[in-house]
Amino acid sequence: MSALQLFCRGRLSWGLLALSGVVLELVALFFQYTMDLAPCVMCIYVRVAVLGLILAGLIGMLQPKLWIVRFVGLVSWAVSSVWGFRLASELNDMQVNPSPFATCSFYPEFPSFMPLDVWLPSVFSPTGMCSDLPWTWLSVSMAQWMMVCFAIYGVIWLIMLVPSVKPLK
């Protein structure tokens, strides 16, 4: 377990987490601006969850040898993974079981101290409808792919948890 413990305490592991989140954000922007797929408000919330993964990676990169920094990074990672999975699952349910009574808002509801849609509307402003299913690959929708991604983040988090908090011998 020593090699995994050392990996968890290195900047590379946290950098990979942050980099994977950046790649997901860039893919989302590619879909939006190159493939002309309009993101719905739930898609924007999923982007915020991915942003949480990026921030978790950046927090862990600050000083990964300190247990408190790793702990804050791990908590941020777990919250972002679970919240992102929940959002993607909710979006998938809206797309698979469309209902006029279960719709999403047209406007994101960010806290007043962090209006991401005002600060960066090109990334965090929704223009699509949640019930639309504009893209699939291998018969799997984007929401379902994001559920897979967040589940993978959760599994990797579980693998990294014990070596991250266990003291080195």
Give burial (CB, 10 Å; 0-12/13-18/19+) of 33. exposed
Annotated catalytic residue 8: no
Residue 50, class by beta-carbon neighbours within 10 Å (0-12 exposed, 13-18 middle, 19+ buried)?
buried
Q: Which is catalytic among the residues 43, 70, 86, 149?
A: 43
Catalytic residue (choose from 8, 9, 70, 104): 104
Is 47 catalytic? The answer is: yes
Task: Provide Rg for the chain, Cα atoms.
Answer: 17
Name the phi and psi angles at 8, rounded to 5. Answer: -65, -25
Asked if 95 and 147 touch (Cβ cutoff 8 Å), the reply is no
Which of 9, 47, 70, 149 is flagged as catalytic?
A: 47
- Among residues 40, 70, 86, 149, the one annotated as catalytic is 40
**Phi and psi (nearest 5°) for 59?**
-60, -45
CA angle centred on 146, ends 139 and 161, rounded to 5°: 135
**Catalytic residue check, 149:** no
Catalytic residues: 40, 43, 47, 104, 130
